[in-house]
Amino acid sequence: LPIATSSVVPQPTIIPVPSKEFQSASETGTRTLWVVFVIMLVSAIGFTGMAWRVPNSKRLYHVVTTLIVVFAALSYFAMASGAGSSYHHIRITEKHKTVPDTHLDIYRQVFWARYVDWSITTPLLLLDLGLLAGMNGGNLFVTIIADIIMVLTGLFAAFGTEGTSQKWGWYTIACFAYLVVLYKLVVSGRATARAKGGKVANFYNAIGGFTIILWTIYPIVWGVADGSRKLGVDEEIIAYAVLDVLAKPVFGLWLLWTHASIPETNIDLGGFWTHGLSSE
């Protein structure tokens, strides 16, 4: 008897195949990162040049502001060259009544280098603002520590496991820390800036207001990008790129230019900046 070779009855697949999805930067995202790297590098060179035109006693803001864009350039180099990120695994489980649960495994590129950058540059930005406002050491210290807590807990949120309290729990804690920063800038900073006179107060209110508006957009971008993944990786890169350029080079240029034209913004660190501490 001829044996039918096609006697193998095809079996219906009843076990759902887990699906995977990679979300990472495309050509557009990578190019954006390189462009911002160049902007930060050019700003660092430009701010250094501006520092050389003034005596050391007037260079405090220049040094702080230059370091801000130097750190940003380093972080953007790390991200653009393909390092400075890792893939965060997010498992989305769909429950079914009759068939086994299905999973969607998302691997999203998360740039941790941003948080390294922010943990150094946002304290430096606050140092610029605090010095300008003439904030006292105690307030400045608390502002900067709250800011560091904000960035580090933001990093934990970014790598928090989906479906647990980790992600949005850390995010909420970060937002509280940010509220401390806002409070210090708006209440303590404005009060001491007012005491320094009209010119300093007006300038502090303008550049401080600019800062608060910009900084508040970061947690919003985080929420729609890292948080709920409504924004893709490229869109996230572009959103942060625009914010970073405004918050660092544009902020810096505005500060240094205005500092040059308003002598009341000069900072006297009691001779420490120019001569160091003297012994008794």
**Applying CB under 6 A, does 78 fall inside the site for ligand RET?**
no
Of the listed pieces 45-53, 76-84, 105-113, 168-176, which binds ligand RET according to CB under 6 A? 168-176
- Cα separations in angstroms, 147 against 120, 179, 181: 10, 9, 6
Q: Which of residues 202-261 bind ligand RET (CB under 6 A)?
A: 215, 218-219, 222, 244, 247-248
CB of 17 to ligand RET, least distance (A): 35
**Residue 129 one-letter amino acid:** L
Number of other CB atoms surrounding residue 163 within 10 Å: 11
The b-or-e profile of 109-122 (16+ CB within 10 A means b, else e) is bbbbbbbbbbbbbb
Identity at 35, one-letter amino acid code: V
Q: Does 143 bind ligand RET (CB under 6 A)?
A: no
CB of 200 to ligand RET, least distance (A): 22
245 CA to centre of own chain: 11
Cβ proximity to ligand RET: between 149 and 262 the closer is 149
248 or 259, CB closer to ligand RET?
248
Among the residue ranges 51-59, 136-144, 151-159, 186-194, the one whose residues contact ligand RET (CB under 6 A): 151-159
Q: Helix or strand or coil: residue 134?
A: coil
- Under rule CB under 6 A, residue 118 binds ligand RET: yes
Are the C-beta atoms of residues 91 and 18 closer than 8 Å to each other? no
Question: Is residue 150 close enough to count as binding ligand RET by CB under 6 A?
Answer: yes
Query: Is residue 121 at the binding interface for ligand RET, with CB under 6 A as the rule?
Result: yes
Q: Does 157 bind ligand RET (CB under 6 A)?
A: yes
Nearer to ligand RET, 144 or 150 (CB): 150
The number of CA neighbours under 13 Å toward the Cβ of 239 is 20
Residues 128, 255 contacting (CB under 8 angstroms)? yes
Question: Which residue type sits at 99?
Answer: V
**Site size for ligand RET, by CB under 6 A?**
18
Residue 57 C-beta-side C-alpha neighbours within 13 Å: 6
Distance between CA 128 and CA 255 in Å, rounded? 9
> Smaller CB distance to ligand RET: residue 73 or 193?
73
Q: Is the Cβ of residue 43 or residue 121 nearer to ligand RET in the bound state?
A: 121
> Which stretches of the chain bind ligand RET, using CB under 6 A?
118, 121-122, 150-151, 154, 157, 171, 174-175, 178, 215, 218-219, 222, 244, 247-248
